[in-house]
């Protein structure tokens, strides 16, 4: 495996772990507010990020590359509101999209066709991730500070499978 590709995939593996940490931190934040549905949603999201990390891990290993595990930075722990947390989640997903796009660009530059094909799954996934986060942000903006609205939406998010 090309060293540049191996390095960027290693960084993305760490980025995906950070994403999982971030969403777990958000889950803990929501638990502290007794929003079990928001917390459930974030725990599911954290699990999804771990799946993404393992896809990268397995791909690098299958191509005779080497995963080098490095420290994962600590995520934020407090947000002003559920809306603030989800706006941060949306901003984070946009950052991840830019990271994935850089991998795609590098794979094209390096003519690493297996990585180019592999990373397309992540590109499609990021479209979904951003769309989902944006829709939640938009709904939270409609709810504003309505306690009843937040409790109802908490019930909706609790149903995520």
Number of other residues whose CB lies within 10 A of the CB of residue 28 = 15
Instruction: Determine the pLDDT at residue 91.
Output: 98
Instruction: Determine the pLDDT at residue 11.
Output: 98
Instruction: Determine the pLDDT at residue 101.
Output: 98
User: Domains (ranges, CATH) in the chain?
Assistant: 3-157 (1.20.1260.10)
Instruction: Determine the pLDDT at residue 73.
Output: 97
Instruction: Determine the pLDDT at residue 27.
Output: 98
Q: Are 17 and 72 in contact (CB under 8 A)?
A: yes
Instruction: Determine the pLDDT at residue 150.
Output: 98
Instruction: Determine the pLDDT at residue 5.
Output: 98
Each residue's pLDDT expressed in tens, for the chain with a length of 161 residues: 999 999 999 999 999 999 999 999 999 999 999 999 999 999 999 999 999 999 999 999 999 999 999 999 999 999 999 999 999 999 999 999 999 999 999 999 999 999 999 999 999 999 999 999 999 999 999 999 899 999 999 999 999 99
What is d(CA 11, CA 6) in angstroms, rounded to the nearest whole number? 9
Query: Would you give the DSSP letter of residue 76?
Result: P
Give the global pTM. 0.96
Q: Please give the torsion angle defined by the CA atoms of residues 51, 56, 58 and 64, in that order, rounded to the nearest 10 degrees.
A: -170
């Amino acid at each position: 495996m090309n060293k540049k590709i191996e390095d960027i995939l290693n960084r993305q593996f760490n980025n995906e772990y950070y994403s999982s940490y971030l969403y777990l931190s958000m889950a803990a934040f929501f638990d502290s507010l007794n929003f079990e549905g928001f917390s459930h949603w974030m725990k599911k999201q954290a699990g999804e990020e771990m799946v993404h990390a393992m896809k990268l891990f397995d791909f690098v290993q299958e191509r005779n590359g080497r995963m080098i595990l490095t420290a994962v930075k600590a995520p934020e722990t407090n947000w002003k509101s559920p809306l603030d947390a989800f706006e941060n989640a949306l901003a984070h997903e946009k950052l991840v999209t830019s990271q994935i796009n850089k991998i795609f660009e590098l794979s094209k530059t390096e003519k690493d066709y297996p990585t180019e094909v592999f990373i397309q799954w992540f590109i499609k996934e990021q479209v979904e991730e951003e769309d989902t986060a944006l829709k939640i942000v938009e709904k939270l903006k409609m709810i504003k500070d309505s306690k009843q609205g937040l409790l109802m939406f908490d019930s909706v998010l609790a149903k995520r499978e």
